[in-house]
Amino acid sequence: MILLKQDVSNSIEYFNDVDYVIHAASNTHPIQYATDPVGTIKTNVFGTNNLLEYSRAHNVKKFILVSSFEVYGKVKNNEQIGENDYGIVDCLIPRSCYPESKRLSESLTIAYSTQENIDVSIVRLSRVFGPTMSLQSSLATAQFIKNAVDGEDIVLKSDGKQLYSYNYVGDAVTAIITVMLKGKDKEAYNVSDEAYDLRLGEFAQIVSNYNNKNVVFKLPDDIEKEGFSNSVMTILDSQKLKELGWRPLGNIKNDINDTINVLKLKMHK
């Protein structure tokens, strides 16, 4: 195994051939959307371009772009969002640095496939959680889990009514591998399951039950508010992915508890 550490915003400094490229490098940190929108855009767009250039030059068998539910923007009147359902993203809001650059990354990936004959597929993840997540992240789920690891009340900075699809990290990995091996060229695949659709407040309650703590409300500061998503419902339809044979491996309550248990062990080593 060769571990190559580098900034994907720069040209890829690896000259051997590989069979598969999975591009998963991206800022997914709401405070960074507010404080470093330029860096967020560059990582997504330049990183995608550099890895596609590498794939073109080295005859990669398959290129996988790991994208996001955020490309859909505000979709009206849809209980479930399919791969062809698109809504509005206000490009004049700094926070849109993330969804807009993910959209452009997807377009660039399809353009390279068309022009340079690269076999590509796109994986659109839901909100991912698991023991690999950083507790320094400003994602709401990461902060909930940090509260639980620290034995504190769970701090909710909204009304908690937002309805979202979630992914456990293990299921996200198996979805990426499934698409890498079975996904069609120039196709996008949502990653979600109905059993992992929850309101944000319900997610916070499951976390709080771990330590028998309370869910408490706290007003977000100005920077936090700038980084927050204004979407109140993002439920993804994953039928296309399930037709490839993918299914989640566990259930969300156990996955949340396992996440907290593993992170507590890491903290006490």
pLDDT, position 242: 98
Whether residue 148 is contained in a domain is answered as yes
pLDDT tens digits, one per residue of 160-206 = 888 999 999 999 999 999 999 999 999 999 999 999 999 999 999 99
Whether residue 164 is contained in a domain is answered as yes
Residue 234, classified by CB atoms within 10 Å of its CB into exposed (0-12), middle (13-18) or buried (19+), is buried
Whether residue 72 is contained in a domain is answered as yes
pLDDT, position 157: 85
Whether residue 2 is contained in a domain is answered as no
Whether residue 14 is contained in a domain is answered as no
| β-sheet bridge partners, residue 123 | 66, 189
Contacts of 122 (CB under 8 A, 6+ apart): 64, 65, 67, 106, 109, 187, 188, 189
pLDDT, position 152: 94
pTM of this structure: 0.92
Query: Which portions of the chain are predicted below pLDDT 70?
Result: 1, 77-78, 219, 223-231, 269
pLDDT, position 135: 84
Whether residue 10 is contained in a domain is answered as no
pLDDT, position 77: 65
CB 162 within 8 A of CB 97: no
Whether residue 3 is contained in a domain is answered as no
The domain of 33 spans: 20-267
Whether residue 185 is contained in a domain is answered as yes
Radius of gyration (C-alpha) of the chain in whole angstroms? 19
CB 247 within 8 A of CB 193: yes
Q: Where are the beta strands (DSSP E) in 97-250?
A: 120-125, 127-129, 154-156, 163-168, 187-191, 197-199, 215-217, 233-234
Q: What is the CATH number of the domain that holds 108?
A: 3.40.50.720
CB 56 within 8 A of CB 21: no
User: Based on the structure, what is the number of domains in the chain?
Assistant: 1
